[in-house]
Structure 1
Amino acid sequence: MPATCPPSAAARASAALCALALLGGCAQNPEDTGGRGGAPEVEPPPSATAGMDPRSADPTVEPGTIFVFNTHGNEQGEADQRPKNLVASPSTTFTGLEWAGWGGGPALGTGQVQGTWCLPDCQDEPFAVSVELSGTETIDGTAFYTDYSFAGMGDIPEEMRGRLRDVDSGRLTLPSAW
């Protein structure tokens, strides 16, 4: 019998992705037409105002066991709770955060926001805001907040609010491989 080498990590990852792609295609019944006799229902893309208003999704995760994925000061990212500084997405960063609530529902904080959408105006003087983290997703047994919204837009000028809506959906960065 010929000797065989165990599959590499890359080969195992490729096989897993292929399996997920195949399973993903099976998730929706092609006969399901959404009750209208037409094409199956497709979830619409996020609206232009996504991430701008507080969300009502209340995670049911205990306060001490929910995290936010944060790449501030660590390019690889880490599970964090009540962070002082938070990279929410590739285009939005919160600084000087103080949290009034965490876990067991939305996390509520106040601080400053800046990002690529407001440069150069906000580089030296970020805008004051109130932020709400909501929704959860469990990744490898760890619960993470999934969305952010502004509970108060503070002193963000209307023009900057439009830029923010154009570049950011309100989805928090999540770990890709925990």
Structure 2
Amino acid sequence: MKRTSTPRRHRTAIAAALACAAAFGTVATATGAQAAAPQHTAKAETPYVINHYGEENADKGKAERSPANLVLSEFTSAQALHWKQWDAKKAVATGKVTGAWCLDTCLDKPLKATVTLSDPKTVHGKKVYSSFTVKLAGGNGAYDSEDLKGKQPLATS
């Protein structure tokens, strides 16, 4: 067995480590460049909804897709949403709705409804839905609320 001097072994180990680092750097740079390239997928073009649900989002809102709970207006919110559609034109969910307009009857027992988000527009560089409609399962006639009368504006910031 041939003996190698300690300095030579160190130089060999350092050279091997540098070669590995250079190879890793090349892979990392290629991966980073690929990640930085614009992604043209349907998901990137799909709008968000600005959601003010929850204490942490009450003031500024949060851009979300398919949230389980959603503030529709200052008077109406939706919970337990099951999204059936979320695309470039509209989003449709079934769930439960409560509002200031039904506190006596729906505070403890939210009403079944279909919520539709529509009219996407670009705000601060993000595509967001700007309108909503609510259709109660039993019909909207029992409640006199603006939020239940056709298309209504949705917070966009």
- Measured against the shorter chain, the TM-score band is 0.5 to 0.7
Q: Which residue pairs with 1:153 in the alignment?
A: 136
Q: Normalized against structure 1, the TM-score is what?
A: 0.57
CA RMSD of aligned residues (A): 2.3
Q: Which residue pairs with 1:170 in the alignment?
A: 152
Superposed, 1:67-82 pairs within 5 Å as 67-73=48-54, 74-75=57-58, 76-82=60-66
2:100 to 116, 129, 133: 116
Distance in 1, matches of 2:148 and 2:116, equals 19
Which structure carries more strand by proportion? Answer: 2
Say whether residues 1:92 and 2:92 are aligned partners.
no
Shift of 1:169: 6.1
Q: Which residue pairs with 1:125 in the alignment?
A: 109
Distance 1:166 1:144, change over 3 A: closer
Q: Structure 2: which 5+ residue stretches go unaligned?
A: 1-40
Structure showing greater relative contact order (alpha-carbon pairs closer than 8 Å, 6 or more residues apart): 1
Say whether residues 1:107 and 2:91 are aligned partners.
yes
When the two structures are aligned, how many residues end up with a matched partner? 113
Shift of 1:166: 7.9
Distance in 2, matches of 1:125 and 1:156, equals 16
Q: Which residue pairs with 1:12 in the alignment?
A: none
Shift of 1:105: 2.2
Distance in 2, matches of 1:165 and 1:119, equals 14
Distance in 1, matches of 2:113 and 2:52, equals 20
Q: Letter of the aligned partner of 2:90 in structure 1?
A: P
Query: Radius of gyration: which is bigger?
Result: 2
Shift of 1:130: 0.9
Shift of 1:62: 4.0
Contact 1:117 1:167 in 2 (8 A): no
Contact 2:133 2:148 in 1 (8 A): no
Distance in 2, matches of 1:171 and 1:125, equals 25
Say whether residues 1:138 and 2:129 are aligned partners.
no
Identity %: 30
Q: Letter of the aligned partner of 2:154 in structure 1?
A: L
Distance in 1, matches of 2:99 and 2:48, equals 22
